Structure formats: C-alpha cells, structure tokens
Amino acid sequence: MDKKRLLASAAVVLVLGGLIYLQVHEWSTFDWATFRDQTYRVKKWHVVHAVALIYVAYVLRALRWKIFLRPVRPKASLLGLTSSTLVGFTGLALLGRAGEFIRPYLIARRENLPFSSQLAAWAVERIFDLGSFAVLMLLAIFLPSALSSIPHPEYYRKFQQGGILLIGVVLAMAVGAVFISRSGEAVAGWIEQKFGHLSSNLGHRLAMRVREFRVGLNTIHGPVSLICLIVVSLGMWYVIARAYQEVAHSYGVDALEIPVSQVLILMGASMAGSMLQLPAVGGGSQLATITALTHVFDVQPETATSCGILLWLVTFAAVIPLGLLIAHRERLSLRTLSAESHQAEEAE
C-alpha cells in the first residue's frame, strides 16, 4: 500500500511540476513585489468571515450525516458528529487520500455501528454533494444575465456545454442509484460473475461496493428525509460559495468583485484541480483556481496567485488547527486512525 501511495504521489508531483513550469513560463514578467503587496493588503475581516462560513459548512455536513443516521441512531449527537467531521477533514488535509476514511471510521466507532454502513453513507454523501453543486452551477450558468458580465463572454458557451454534460452525469447517477436501490443484489451478483474470471478479488470488491451503496441508500428514510438532505446540501454548498466570495472580495480589486453566480466557476475549477493534490500542500486546486482567475476573469497573475493560495488555505486548510486541537483533546492519532480505517475497509 505504501509503495502504491509513493508512486501515486510521484506521478502527481510530475504532473503538477509540468503544469507549474508551463504557468511560470507563461508569466515571464511575474512581479513578486506586487504579489507580496497584494497579499499584505488583504482585508482581514473578509478572511475571518470566510473561515467562519467554512466552519458553518462543516456543521451542516455533520447535520446531513445526522439525517443519514436517523433510522438507526435517532439520538446521535450533532456535536459529536461535528467533532468527527472536523477531525476527519483534518486528516484528509494533512494525509491526503490516506485520510479519507477517517471520518466514516470515527463515526462508526463512536456510534457503535458497522464500518461498512458508514462507508455506504459516505458514498451516498458524494451523490448529494455533486448533485447540489450541479444545481447551483446550472442556476449560475443558465439564469439570464448570470454570467454575461464575465470579461470573456466566449467562455459562456463552453460553460453552458459543461453544464449540459453535468446534467447528464447527475441524471445518470440518479438513475443508477434508483436501479441499485431496487435491484442491487442482482447487480452485485452479475458483477461478481462477469469480473470474477479476471480476478476473484476484483469481482468481489466491486460487488461489495454495490452492496454497500445499496445499504447507504437505505439511510434515506422516506420523502421527508430526502427533502431535508437536499435542503441541507444546497445550503451547505451555498455557504461555501459565500466563503469563496468573501476571500475574493478581501482584495478590494474590481476584477475580484464577482457575484456568487460567477464564484461557482471558481469552485468548479478548484474541485477539478483537487484531483491532483499532495498531502498538506495541495497543488492542483490552487493551480486550477489561479488559471481560472487569470484566463476567465482577467485578474493579474500576482493577485490571482495570492487569491488562489488564500482560497485553498481558507476552504481546505483552515480546519487543521481546530481539528488537531480536538484530536489532541480526545487523544486521537490521525496516522493511527488512517491505518485502522484502511485495515477495517480491507476487512470489510
């Protein structure tokens, strides 16, 4: 496992190194003094407000998980779930993909539930995240005059095409979820049969994921629960968008005085770039955000670089101090939790 992670990290470093080289080569006149001045002139209150909004988003994420747990743990503590959420995202920020199972593992351990049930809820959570962000993005793209004021209107058609593709992905996921909810066992059996001849372990693991996902769908306990999950998810992503907006407005630059509808474009770029992340330092999300700021919004390279880094610090790394404090108070080791969660995942 360590060798695989090392190879994956090396591949990410190579790709990021190439992208950074191309970006720096394009910015042959980058002025570090301007970068420093723009960073020092940031309005601190906007940044504090953005961090507060991000923490509100973590509470909403914990509230959504509480709704997931309602059928089996109706009295689950929102405070306890928020604590697990903060520690889990701290592990993800510091350890990268190695820490992605910490949150469902902690929740399963604290609520005395099977780890597989919380992995299932974690998988369903991804659908609500993508679906909610897609709804907000589509509103931003297709509402009249939502993006017409961007400096480069030629991108507007590309955003619309991307929005249509996003609609297709979300609809396909929704149809797949309904199908697995009704015929999940049959799908799992078919997968085991078809892929078992390639590798019995591969067929078994894929079938297990399908069964876990079906269990996760059972956490949506009726239409009221579904509506609550949708409302909380939309509210959470809107709060995150407002946090992005606060960071952009903290620079006091006309090019960054962008409305929430356009902020969603930055969020989309950051989410796409996060697929190339290094533990504790990021890389992909900052680079993607900086590229969007310079090419779509005509922000100067120095300001765009400062803003891209600050956005990453606020939206991704700001959880680390409080998460480490909670982990220290509860005597939790992130590396131990990461190892235990992966061992539990393998055992499942």
pLDDT of residue 275: 63
113 three-class SS? coil
Q: How far is CA 333 from CA 2, 6, 89, in A?
A: 18, 21, 14
Which tokens hold the place of 112? 């005395």
Residue 47: per-residue pLDDT: 95
Those residues whose C-beta lies under 8 Å from the C-beta of residue 313, and which sit 6 or more positions away, are none
Query: Nearest-CA neighbor of 14 among 290, 304, 316, 283?
Result: 283
Cβ pair 73, 113 in contact under 8 A: yes
Both ends of the chain: CA-CA distance in Å?
17
Q: List average pLDDT for each run of 10 residues in the chain, which is 348 residues long.
A: 55 53 57 81 93 97 94 90 96 87 94 87 88 83 64 70 79 80 73 66 72 71 88 95 94 86 81 62 71 85 88 92 95 92 78
DSSP 241-286: HHHHHHHHHTT--GGG---HHHHHHHHHHHHHHTTSEETTTEEHHH
Summary count for the chain: helices (H), strands (E): 14, 2
- SS3 state at 37: helix
The structure tokens listed for 94 are: 């510091």
pLDDT of residue 134: 85
Q: What is the pTM of this model?
A: 0.84
Task: Determine the Cα–Cα distance for residues 248 and 269; give it in Å rounded to an integer.
Answer: 15
Q: What does R_g of the chain's alpha carbons equal in angstroms?
A: 21
User: Torsion angle of alpha carbons 7, 13, 14, 19, nearest 10°?
Assistant: 150
Taking the C-alpha atoms of residue 102 and residue 122, their distance in angstroms, rounded to an integer, is: 11
